[in-house]
Amino acid sequence: MDFSLFSKLAQIPSAPGREELLAEEIISEIKPYCDDVRIDRIGNIIAFKKGTVGNRIMVAAHMDEVSLKVRYIDDKGFIYFTLTGGIDARTLLSQRVTIVTEEHGLIPGVIGAKAAHYLTAAEKTQGVDAASLSIDTGYGAQEVRDMVSIGDPVVLDRVPRELGGDLFTSKAIDDRAGVYILLEVIKNMPKSHRNDIYFVFSVQEEYGLIGAEAATADIKPEVALAVDTTGALDTPGMRPQDYVVSLGKGIGITLADSTTIADRVLSKHLIKICKEKNIAYQLRVAARGSNDAKVMQRAGGAARAAALSVPVRYIHSNVETASKKDIDAAYNLVLNFLSGDFEG
């Protein structure tokens, strides 16, 4: 895994509906390797590599990340927000954030918490109400109102770090891991391959799989593969039967989640590649969660669809944690799959 490339991608703010900074970076990385690269009206990047025979395979990773949205600025300049994409408000306390403005660039801020010395006994045991949290930018009300607009997105601010073993931590591993994997696959695909391949970097997944639905209707793929992340619950307090997936045990091949049953023929084919190429994998069946595979399966007519899920601990927080080995396994599986002759 090229950690410095991942790190660069992960630090670019890319809230749902405001993926343009990341899109710019992705396009500059992939342009030399594709037959065509375009952005559709909703903001998806659709990168095309022509095959020799020509069935359509769509592979997608989403560009957006969980984020906040400015909803109110008070008379002291504190900024109140809504949550986008399933963030636990407890994880926002005492965090740094970045406000993505229309015309004044990126503005740093912090979400402070009342100091422990002043908490009442009741406050110490209370949960965190997102509606009461606010962002402090250091600027006064007038300056904030001049620069920040209602509706501006706010993302978490974290520099990725390598941890022990082969683990690393970052914000937005969901789904910058998928974006990173597709970039590496695009760069390393063999020149000649059987199928037409559409690499889609989708928008607004965290808002309801919006971008992938539009792109699928456009491409009408016969085969569709989402490359995303999933919560790994192999952490203290959990039972092994509830882990869903574990870090370091390979790429998750999702057979079913709360909205999608993966195509059996495609799933079996992915497993066969893993066995033949010695790629570590784990089968995933989850009671919750959803990803772009849901809409890719049906939005362009019936497609054989499945999802690959990179295991991530503490998902949707600023300390998401994953394994480089699992990323490498996912890369190998996607590369071998797309280089092969699966037609659906």
For Zn ion, the closer of residues 174 and 257 by Cβ is: 174
* Using rule CB under 5 A, residue 228 touches Zn ion: yes
Residues of the chain by 3-state class (helix, strand, coil), percent to 5: 30, 30, 40
- Nearest approach, Cβ of residue 299 and Zn ion (Å): 18
Q: How far is the CB of 179 from Zn ion (least distance, A)?
A: 10
Catalytic annotation present for 205: yes
Cis peptide before 242 (omega within 30 of 0): no
> Which of 25, 205, 206, 222 is labelled catalytic?
205
The number of CA neighbours under 13 Å toward the Cβ of 205 is: 32
Q: Rounded to the nearest whole angstrom, what is the least distance from the CB of residue 196 to Zn ion in the complex? A: 25
Distance, CA of 333 to CA of 265 (rounded, Å): 16
Residues with Cβ < 8 Å from 213, sequence gap 6 or more?
Answer: 295, 299
Q: Cβ(69)–Cβ(153) under 8 Å?
A: yes
- The minimum distance between CB 289 and Zn ion, in angstroms, equals 9
From CA 239, how far away is CA 252, in angstroms rounded? 19
Report if residue 292 touches Zn ion, rule: CB under 5 A.
Answer: no
**320 contacts Zn ion (rule: CB under 5 A):** no
**Range in contact with Zn ion (rule: CB under 5 A) among 26-34, 133-141, 225-233, 265-273:** 225-233
| Residue 16 near residue 207, CB atoms below 8 Å | yes
The enclosing H or E element of 180 equals helix 173-188
Q: Which lies closer to Zn ion via its Cβ, residue 25 or residue 175?
A: 175
Tokens representing 104 are 């004044």
Which run of H or E residues covers position 295?
helix 293-296
The residue among 65 and 328 lying less far from Zn ion, judged by its C-beta, is 65
Closer residue to Zn ion (CB): 85 or 109: 85
Binders of Zn ion: how many residues, by CB under 5 A?
3
Q: Which helix (H) or strand (E) holds 29?
A: helix 20-30
Residues 174-193 that bind Zn ion (CB under 5 A): 174-175
Minimal distance in Å, beta carbon 274 to Zn ion?
Answer: 22
Tell me if 310 sits within 8 A of 326, measured CB to CB.
yes
CB 94 within 8 A of CB 233: no
CB closer to Zn ion, 147 vs 256:
256
Structural tokens at position 286: 């989850």
Shortest spacing between CB 173 and Zn ion, in angstroms = 9
Site for Zn ion in 137-176 (CB under 5 A): 174-175
Choose between 79 and 299: whose C-beta lies nearer to Zn ion: 299
Instruction: Provide the annotated active-site residues.
Output: 205
The residues of the shown chain that bind Zn ion, judged by CB under 5 A, are: 174-175, 228
